[in-house]
Structure 1
Amino acid sequence: MLSRTADHLFWMARYTERAENTARMLDVNIQTSMLPQSIESAEQGWRAMLGISELQSAFDKKYGVLNAKDVLDFMVRDPDNPSSIAACLTEARENARAVRGTLTTEVWETQNATWLDMQQHLNSGVLENDPSQFFEWVKYRSHLSRGVTLGTMLKDEAIHFIRLGTFLERADNTSRILDVKFHGAKEAGISEKATQRDFYYWAALLRSVSGFEIYRKVYRDVITPERVAELLILRGDMPRSLLACMDEVVQNLKQVSNDVSSDTERFAGKLHAELQFACIEDILEAGLHETLTEFLQRIFELGNRVSRNFLVPLAA
């Protein structure tokens, strides 16, 4: 496969996944902002939202004073924010259009329809009147895109590059959410005690990765920080956990292996093995923040290696 074609497929998937992840985080933040809390706590939640995406400085430069309405506008439709939902879905559609001949008709039409419908949704005022409805629509379109891709495309290199993009982006996002939310819990004085306030905090984190019902099924007990971390890092049967993402990355890398990718495969395999054989007690003892920071650095490096080995090289 031509490296440029692989590059478009890879980034089509990453942008689609990024839009969904942003919608998840914003939706949960809106729900938790409705709970009884101080103005400072509510503002801290929105700042954490910007921090997850490393957009705090860009927001401050444009808006100065923080409020929920401006954060929503910045993260959903702002053309100057390359990580906004509108920008991500536009980029996903443009990457799909560039490789229209490689995609099935169903996959292309799904991407194109998502972009067209997004314009109508944003112009209809739904973001102002019922933002959760808009975020559910974004998540649904992302699910639809993945389902149509798996259900209609030949299982060749094209689909493996799409899956690589999806799960590298998902691993990056899950680790960012965990790091910011656990750090936020310390600042807010949220502890292991099963208070109502703590329950809503950890439940919101789980819902942001569709993990609340899974947690109840797996642990059948009160929500504790250790188990939340274990579920989202080390459970291979949790679809958005770091281990589950690395399972997919390693498998798909193996399918597109070439003459220069052996070091990249070893790099990914080592990261995967460390997660596979880790235990949550060791991770917490070493420091969750330190572990997640290192993981983010390695996922970033892995993405760069994939680009060098298979895709259009990144600009120096």
Structure 2
Amino acid sequence: MLSRTANDLFWLARYMERAENMARLLDVGYRMALMPHEGQGHRDEWRSTLASAGCEKGFFARHDTITMRAMIDYMLFDPDNASSVRSCLSTARRNMRAVRTEVTREVWESLNATWLEFSATKPDSITTNALPEFLDWIKERAALFRGVLSGTMLRNDAYFFSHVGLYVERADNTARIVDVKYYILLPENEIVGGGVDNYQWSAILRSVAAHRSYGWVYRTGYNSWNIGEYLILNAQMPRSLAFCYDRITEQLGYLERFYGAHQPSNDQAGDTARLLWDGDMNRIFQNGLHEFLRDFIARNNRLSQQIAVDYHFAA
């Protein structure tokens, strides 16, 4: 396969996953903003969402203050925000055109239909009340794309590159969603483990579709320890960091066998996977959850760069 084709497949899957995860980040901010704040003038839920998404600087270059309307426009529809859902879908579609002969008709049609329907949506029609349903639609379309990708593609290098990209992106975004909690200050009269704190953690669980499955694993209610463990170290949870790195090492292993060459990215992914397999929430919280997540995001970015070097994406 041409390196350019591998690059386009890798990023096609990343941008589709990113579109969904921008919707999930917006969802967690929306849910947290619903929480009553008695006696608190400043509400930082939306700022935390922007900070976690890495969009804070870009947002304030275009908007003076944070409002629900501005957040919807910037994170969903702004073509000048490279991470907006519109930009992600547009870039994914452009990459799809470049690799049209490498994907099935069903994969092409699912993405194209998503783009056409999204493009027909007027931003002003997505009001505060309409936002949850629209975010659910974005998630459903991303799930459909993954379904046809898994259900119709040959298990060859095209499939492997796309799935490495998918899970690299998902790992990045799960880390960012969990890190939203770091940026939110509890009201002065609230304690860690209190009602507001637990509500914020439950909002994070709901935003990654983990609310019900969390209850199957932990029957003691919400607490930051268990939620952190579930979303970081539990390899059964399909959006956890551990699950993503199980899949990344697996897909890179398939590429190693497909091309008959072991790459530095195999070792790099394996190192991060072992860090998660051997992970301990005592140690993570002791050293700082935010610091752990920032380090993980940096590791994940370095892996993406190493994959590009190993498979000559820039060539």
TM-score bucket of the superposed structures, by smaller chain: over 0.9
Pairwise mapping of residues 257-296 of structure 1 onto structure 2 (< 5 A)? 257=256, 258=259, 261-296=262-297
Q: Are 1:212 and 2:211 counterparts?
A: yes
1:309 equivalent in structure 2? 310
Determine if contact 1:41/1:188 at 8 Å carries over to the other structure: no
Q: Which amino acid aligns with 2:264?
A: D
Could you say which residue in structure 2 is the equivalent of 1:254?
Answer: 253
CA deviations 1:148-168 (Å, max 9, x no partner) are 010011111111111111100
Q: Deviations over 1:204-253 (max 9, x none)?
A: 01111111111111001210000011001100000010000000100001
Within a 5 Å distance, the mapping from 1:121-140 to structure 2 comes to: 121-122=121-122, 125-127=125-127, 130-140=130-140
What's the secondary structure of 1:121's corresponding residue? coil
> Which range moved further: 123-132 or 225-234?
123-132
> Matches of 1:212 and 1:272 in 2, distance apart?
25
Aligned equivalents of 2:126, 2:58: Cα separation in 1:
25
What is the correspondence of 1:132-211 to structure 2 with a 5 Å cutoff? 132-184=132-184, 191-193=191-193, 195-211=194-210
By how many angstroms is 1:259 displaced? 6.7
Name stretches of at least 5 consecutive residues in structure 2 with no aligned partner: none
For 1:157 and 1:100, how far apart are their aligned partners in 2?
Answer: 15
Aligned mates of 1:305, 1:4 — CA distance in 2: 15
CA RMSD in angstroms comes to 2.1
**Inter-partner Cα distance in structure 2 for 1:219 and 1:118:** 38
Amino acid at match of 1:279: D
Please state how far the C-alpha of 1:28 moved relative to its aligned partner: 2.8
**Alpha-carbon distance in 2 for matches of 1:228, 1:93:** 35
TM-superposed CA distance for 1:198, in Å, is 2.5
Q: How does 1:53-72 map to 2 (within 5 A)?
A: 53-72=53-72
Percent identity between the two aligned chains: 37
Change (3 A) 1:268 1:62: same
The Cα shift of 1:32 comes to 2.8
Residues in 2 aligned to 1:141 and 1:8: alpha-carbon distance in whole angstroms: 20
Q: Distance in 2 between matches of 1:189 and 1:14?
A: 41
Please list the CA deviations of residues 242-271 of structure 1 after superposition, one character each: whole Å capped at 9, or x if unmatched.
Answer: 000000100001111257652211111011
Structure 1 residues 40 and 105: CA distance shift in structure 2, 3 A: farther
The 2-side partners of 1:97 and 1:11 are apart by 13
Q: Is the alpha carbon distance of 1:38 and 1:186 closer, same or farther for their aligned partners in structure 2, counting shifts above 3 Å?
A: closer
Is the 1:261–1:309 Cα contact (8 Å) retained in structure 2? no
Q: Note if contact 1:260-1:309 (Cα within 8 Å) is conserved in structure 2.
A: no
Summarize the Cα distance change of 1:62–1:248 in structure 2 as closer, same or farther, 3 Å threshold.
same
Aligned residues of 1:127 and 1:134 also touching (Cα < 8 A): no
Return the letter of the residue paired with 1:215.
Answer: Y
Q: Alpha-carbon deviations, 1:155-188, whole Å to 9, x = none?
A: 1111111111110001111112222313425687
Which amino acid is 1:7 matched to?
N
What amino acid is aligned across from residue 24 of structure 1 in structure 2?
Answer: R
Q: Supply the distance in 1 between the matched residues of 2:110 and 2:139 (Cα, whole angstroms).
A: 13
- Counterpart amino acid of residue 308 in structure 2: S
- Tell me how far apart the structure 1 counterparts of residues 62 and 202 of structure 2 sit (CA, whole Å): 32
Q: Distance in 2 between matches of 1:241 and 1:41?
A: 34
Post-superposition shift, 1:70?
Answer: 0.6
In structure 2, the residue matched to 1:224 is 223
Match of 2:2 in 1: 2
Q: 2:232 matched to which residue of 1? A: 233
Q: Does 1:74 align with 2:74?
A: yes
Whole-Å separation in 2 of the counterparts to 1:52 and 1:188: 23
Counterparts of 2:30 and 2:111 in 1: how far apart (Å)?
27
| TM norm structure 2 | 0.93
Higher mean displacement: 56-65 or 13-22: 56-65
Moved more, 7-16 or 123-132: 123-132
User: 2: distance between equivalents of 1:40 and 1:9?
Assistant: 47
Bigger mean CA deviation after superposition, 15-24 or 35-44: 35-44
Q: Provide the C-alpha distance between the structure 1 equivalents of 2:93 and 2:39, rounded to a whole number of angstroms.
A: 39
Q: CA shift at 1:295, angstroms?
A: 1.0
User: Residues 199, 9 of structure 1: CA spacing in aligned structure 2 closer, same or farther, 3 A cutoff?
Assistant: same
